[in-house]
């Protein structure tokens, strides 16, 4: 195992300041970043890293993309905030673009991030089924956010336990197990909430037809299907919406992360009767869908379309898959993923050591599980940079063996 590089002078100074004032929920980060361009970032000591984490799948267009800089600069110089008591053009235009991604259209609620999107989705479920049903079925290993409502359907006991009792009732079933889902969903079930691919779970891909089966199971008992596309949506998997690409139209879709390319924004897309559940006074957000974040999101959608980034994401992802196939090292047990959303599965629980070795070598990755490394780089990641990481992978594996 490599010895972690000591932080530079400027980084160490910032760590001391952090420790003096910040709450302990994140620990002390090992790096302090100062700026970035494209898929590269620099720390405060001037060291260059290839960003293969993208702010946890957020920085969809990388760093300092001209389209985002221009859109945000123009908007903040014109109108930065209105509250929800007034309309603004970027918000309406964004809702129109998002609604058009869903066959048959949708209605849109704009919020601040993935957790608040899932909170709004759960309120739609609760009000729609008020007095009739209250149970929600979710999946083990799923992640939907840290607020109390979103946490209640997050399928990791260690995350939930310190904050119980949580809203409920919630039943958890193994992810990707159609029969377990079929047994759990009954006439008492208000909704099923799941991810088309589990991101925080380690980029876990279900078998073909899983989402369609969930749709059929919900329809059989009149339950709503809520699909969390906070991480999978807006190009991460090479599609606008992974659920729709698989031929499934959920009742509710939640989005965030890459939608704003670093600006805080989330969205809820509701279809059919679910789109009409929330009425004046039922829900709101002071900052949600503010003009600046909406301008950034519009720039994201336009740039992905104009630059052919969905096709680029699929092509670079396939290139990575072939390169990882060629790596012959006992520590690399397997790899999986879609588009620029990949997981390296290690044969030993040394993912944190791998993350450190990668950082010491100039690559930012994420040890999302003890044996799992997650890669979620900007969608603009170039072929040369993708190849550079693939070429370095055998040495990084050797460094922690």
Domains of the chain: 67-306 (3.40.640.10), 308-401 (3.90.1150.10)
* Residue 98, CA distances (Å) to 3, 95, 103, 247, 328 in order: 47, 5, 11, 17, 43
Q: Is 138 helix (H, G, I), strand (E, B) or coil?
A: strand
Query: Which helix H or strand E contains 6, and what residues bound it?
Result: none
Active site residues per annotation: 143, 228, 257
The closest of 364, 306, 264, 313 to 66, measured between CA atoms, is 306
Instruction: Give per-residue pLDDT as tens, 22-33.
Output: 999 999 999 999
Q: Looking at the predicted structure, is the pLDDT value of residue 131 above 80?
A: no
pTM for this one?
0.96
Instruction: Give per-residue pLDDT as tens, 133-192.
Output: 989 999 999 999 999 999 999 999 999 999 999 999 999 999 999 999 999 999 999 999
Instruction: Give per-residue pLDDT as tens, 191-248.
Output: 999 999 999 999 999 999 999 999 999 999 999 999 999 999 999 999 999 999 999 9
Q: What is the pLDDT of residue 356?
A: 97
Burial of 319: CB neighbours in 10 Å, binned 0-12, 13-18, 19+: middle
């Amino acid at each position: 195992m490599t010895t972690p590089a000591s932080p530079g002078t400027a980084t160490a100074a910032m760590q001391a300041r952090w420790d003096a004032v910040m709450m302990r929920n994140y620990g002390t980060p090992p790096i302090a970043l100062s700026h970035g361009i494209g898929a590269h970032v620099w720390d405060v000591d001037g060291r260059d890293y290839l960003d293969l984490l993208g702010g946890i799948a957020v920085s969809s267009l990388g760093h300092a993309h001209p389209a985002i800089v221009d859109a945000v600069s123009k908007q903040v110089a014109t109108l930065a905030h209105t509250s929800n008591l007034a309309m603004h053009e970027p918000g309406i235009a964004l809702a129109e673009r998002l609604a058009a991604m869903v066959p048959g259209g949708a209605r849109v609620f704009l919020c601040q991030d993935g957790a608040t999107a899932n909170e709004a989705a759960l309120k739609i479920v609760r009000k729609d089924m008020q007095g009739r049903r209250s149970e929600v079925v979710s999946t083990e290993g799923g992640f939907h956010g840290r607020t109390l409502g979103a946490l209640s359907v997050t399928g990791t006991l260690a995350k939930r336990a310190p904050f119980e009792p949580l809203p409920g009732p919630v039943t958890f079933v193994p992810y990707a197990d159609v029969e377990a889902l079929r047994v759990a969903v009954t006439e008492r079930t208000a909704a099923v909430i799941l991810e088309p691919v589990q991101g925080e779970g380690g980029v876990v891909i279900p078998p073909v037809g899983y989402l369609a089966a969930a749709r059929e199971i919900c329809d059989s008992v009149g339950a709503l299907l809520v699909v969390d596309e906070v991480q999978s949506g807006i190009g991460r998997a090479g599609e606008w919406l992974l659920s729709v690409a698989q031929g499934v139209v959920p009742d509710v879709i939640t989005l965030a992360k890459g939608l704003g390319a670093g600006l805080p924004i989330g969205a809820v897309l509701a279809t059919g009767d679910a789109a009409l559940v929330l009425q004046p006074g039922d829900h709101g957000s002071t900052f949600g869908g503010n003009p600046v974040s909406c301008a950034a999101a519009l720039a994201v959608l336009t740039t992905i379309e104009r630059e052919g980034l969905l096709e680029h994401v699929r092509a670079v992802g396939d290139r990575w898959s072939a390169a990882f196939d060629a790596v012959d090292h006992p520590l690399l047990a397997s790899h999986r993923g879609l588009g620029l959303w990949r997981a390296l599965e290690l044969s030993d629980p040394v993912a944190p050591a791998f993350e450190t070795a990668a950082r010491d070598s100039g690559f930012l990755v994420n040890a999302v599980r003890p044996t799992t490394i997650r890669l979620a780089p900007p969608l603009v990641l170039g072929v040369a940079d993708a190849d550079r990481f693939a070429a370095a992978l055998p040495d990084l594996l050797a460094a922690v063996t």
